[in-house]
Each structure stands twice: as structure tokens, then as C-alpha cells.
């Protein structure tokens, strides 16, 4: 009886794990890419930071921080047209971010 219970429990646990595991990895990937992108951004390694922030947007297309950072990096590198699209999307997602709105106004 005890082994039969364990067998059923194992068969019930496998689908549950399969459903819950992708959600955990998605949030872990996002936080990993955000922290790595922030580290590279602060160090001035914009090429690496851009890659990480674009990976964040693949996992979470509504991440205002990633849009704002990408816009800021493009702005600082002298590409206002590229910066504008990212800053505009960041302003839509986070309308109370005044620093981002100031950058957008400069573009």
C-alpha cells in the first residue's frame, strides 16, 4: 500500500514540477541578465550591457528599466534616433520616471 502511494505521488509530482520549473527559470534568467547588465552599465562596458538588457527584453518585454538603460546608452553614444525608441517605450511603461522623461525630451 505504501509503495503504491509513493508511485502515484511520484507521477503527480512530475507534471507539477514540469509546470512550475519554467516560471522559476524565466525569473532567474531575468534577474541574472539585469544584474549583469547593471554591472556592465556602471563599468561603462556598454556593448556587453546592451546585450544583457536585450536578453532581459526577450524574457520580459515590459521591463521599463531595460528600455531606459538601452535608451540612455544610445543617447550617451550619440545615437539619438536609436535612443528615442527605447526612451519612449520606457516612458510608456514607467511614466513617473523623471530622469527618463528628461532624456526623452532632449531627444
pLDDT at 72: 95
pLDDT at 18: 57
Range of the domain at 96: 27-106
pLDDT at 26: 80
Q: Which residues contact 87 (CB under 8 A, 6 or more apart)?
A: 67, 68, 71, 72, 75, 100, 103, 104, 107
pLDDT at 29: 87
Residue 20 lies in a domain: no
Residue 95 lies in a domain: yes
- Could you tell me the three cell numbers for 8? 502515484
| pTM for the whole structure | 0.76
Average pLDDT by stretches of 10, the chain with 107 residues: 61 60 74 93 95 95 96 94 94 93 90
CATH number of the CATH domain containing 48 = 1.25.40.10
Amino acid at each position: 500500500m505504501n509503495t503504491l502511494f509513493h508511485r502515484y505521488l511520484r507521477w503527480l509530482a512530475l507534471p507539477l514540477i514540469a509546470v512550475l520549473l519554467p516560471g522559476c527559470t524565466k525569473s532567474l534568467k531575468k534577474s541574472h541578465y539585469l544584474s549583469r547588465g547593471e554591472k556592465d552599465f556602471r563599468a561603462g562596458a556598454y556593448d556587453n550591457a546592451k546585450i544583457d538588457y536585450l536578453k532581459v527584453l526577450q524574457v520580459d518585454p515590459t521591463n521599463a528599466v531595460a528600455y531606459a538603460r538601452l535608451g540612455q546608452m544610445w543617447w550617451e553614444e550619440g545615437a539619438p534616433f536609436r535612443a528615442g525608441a527605447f526612451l519612449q517605450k520606457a516612458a510608456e511603461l514607467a511614466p513617473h520616471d523623471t530622469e527618463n522623461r528628461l532624456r526623452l525630451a532632449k531627444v
